[in-house]
Amino acid sequence: MKILLIGEYSNLHNSLKQGLQENGHTVTLLGSGDGFKNYDVDILIKSSLFEKKILKIIAKIIDKLTGISLNEFEIFIKSIFKLNNLKGFDIVQLINERGFRTSPFMEKILLKHIFRNNKKVFLLACGVDFTSVSYSYERKFKYSILTPYFEDNSLKSEYKQTLKYLSSSYSKLSEYVKKNVVGIISSDLDYHLPYVGTEKYLGMIPNPVNIDKLKKTIVKKRDKIYILHAINSKNKIKKGNRFFNDSLSIIEKKYYKKIKIIRTIDKPYLEHLKNVKDCDIIMDQVYAYDQGYNALEAMALGKVVFTGAEDKWLELYNLKEDSVAINALPNVSKIVEKLSWLIENPIHLENISKNARKFIMKHHDYKNIALKYISSWEK
């Protein structure tokens, strides 16, 4: 089949592309590279003009005063010129309702072309959208990326880009996409739960991870345990990074002879991956039920990851607590307790490391996951 994947901001679509290619399909990936992460894509469409220093300032001022994003407009214009390359595909998958990352009005214009000129279009429920934000806003999760906002309304400005999905324009975009796609697939529990019962929902397919590229790394024997806390500055509040910061400050004083903490901010994907390989424990995110993509890749490398590993996830995969990942709760004392347990009992690090790799091989093998996508697409 000839397949077009639209959007990339976690390496999910890249890994799916590789799995599909291994199964004999022709795949094209369109995306922006997602800013500093700089992911590989076949068709690159990103805002570059308004990333220049003076124009960036002007764009921010106009956005603040009028709500008009010049960055989105630039992406829209560049996408228009690429439309001839975006037709005649057997399958198109949107990584999100805003696969092109423009405004709802411009997104509809681009999607209209996609729906008209390709055989089947599917939506991947991945990243924030009207459905997932609404579910979180109604407090149906015991905690979510909106929890910091609920606890402190002064963070409203920090949540501008998330709360906008509740507006009528994004609600209408959501309706338009759902009406025109053949089916909807979710990538993990945090997106699956909001979509249960939605028309055209085909269920959850776990994230694909390229286990051939990401092999378990053997760290040279050393006298300290290395802990990585990699921060995405735009999402640090939603990821619960403050709990990791506070926990690591306590741990650093308590075990300064036994640990080394590596802190990074906004590193490109390949550099981040190198840092992951060099560490033993990874601090990923707090407000999640399931693992995000960064956590899965770290687990594939045999790392012990503090991430989403809630009861519903344990039940889904028939796992015991702390067997393949550590459930990172929004509670400093709990995180300190788990870190202390690992530092004082290195055998647990070794066991979880082995189990994490086995888990990814069993449930997230990119070739097998690609086959699951093909099966859903062909139904």
Domain 2-45+82-208+366-378, what architecture?
A: 3-Layer(aba) Sandwich (3.40)
- Could you identify the residue written with the tokens 């990538």? 187
Dist. CA 133–CA 145, nearest whole Å:
9
The gap between the terminal CA atoms of the chain, to the nearest Å, is 14
Element (H, E) at 264: strand 259-265
What's residue 63's pLDDT? 82
Successive 10-residue mean pLDDT values, the chain, 379 residues: 95 97 97 86 90 80 81 94 96 97 96 98 96 97 96 93 96 98 97 96 97 84 92 94 97 96 95 95 97 96 97 97 97 98 95 97 98 96
pLDDT at 56: 79
Structure tokens at 32: 């922006």
How far apart (Å, rounded) are the C-alpha atoms in residues 145 and 159?
A: 10
Return the bridge partners of 83, or none.
none
Query: Under a CB-based contact definition with an 8 Å cutoff, are residues 173 and 110 in contact?
Result: no
Q: For the chain, what's the residue count?
A: 379
Domain ranges of the chain: 2-45+82-208+366-378, 225-363
pTM, to two decimals: 0.93
The answer to whether 2-45+82-208+366-378 and 225-363 have equal CATH topology is: yes
- Residue 370 is predicted with a pLDDT of 98
| SS3 assignment, position 140 | coil
Q: What is the CATH number of domain 225-363?
A: 3.40.50.2000
